[in-house]
Amino acid sequence: MNWPQIRQRYERWFQGWLVLAPIVGFGSTTLVKNQLYRVWKVTHGLTDGISAAEAREQGLVPPDWSGAAWYGGATVVVFTVFYVLAARTWASHTNDNLTPHD
């Protein structure tokens, strides 16, 4: 294996992954957390304007968000697999001139 050549072909992809992976994980966690909270509010007869703090004041216990965190982590893993496959496909079908390195 020629490590400088591998680095040249995949470094931009890795830099993109460093930016996108946390966004995908945080975004997925936030979306699922909001949906879980919305479903919980509907099942308890609360309106959309009620916050978690207001629900606690009424004696209700909002759901645990650990499931949303696990979902966000799993989303990052799946995203990473697809991202690696896309990077390998791109690198194997282009020449060195299309993946410049500064």
73: containing domain: 9-95
pLDDT digits (tens, 9 = 90+) for 36-95: 888 888 888 887 778 778 888 888 888 888 889 999 999 999 999 999 999 888 888 776
Residue 59 lies in a domain: yes
Residue 1 lies in a domain: no
pTM of the complete model? 0.74
Give the angle subtended at the CA of 49 by the CAs of 48 and 52, to the nearest 5°. Answer: 95
Domain count across the chain: 1
Residue 14 lies in a domain: yes
32-43: b or e for each residue (b if 16 or more CB lie within 10 Å)?
bbeebbeebbee
Which of 28, 11, 31 has the alpha carbon at shortest distance from 79? Answer: 28
Q: How far apart are CA 73 and CA 69, in angstroms?
A: 6
Residue 19 lies in a domain: yes
> Taking the alpha carbons of 23, 74, 62, 43 in that order, is the dihedral positive or negative?
positive
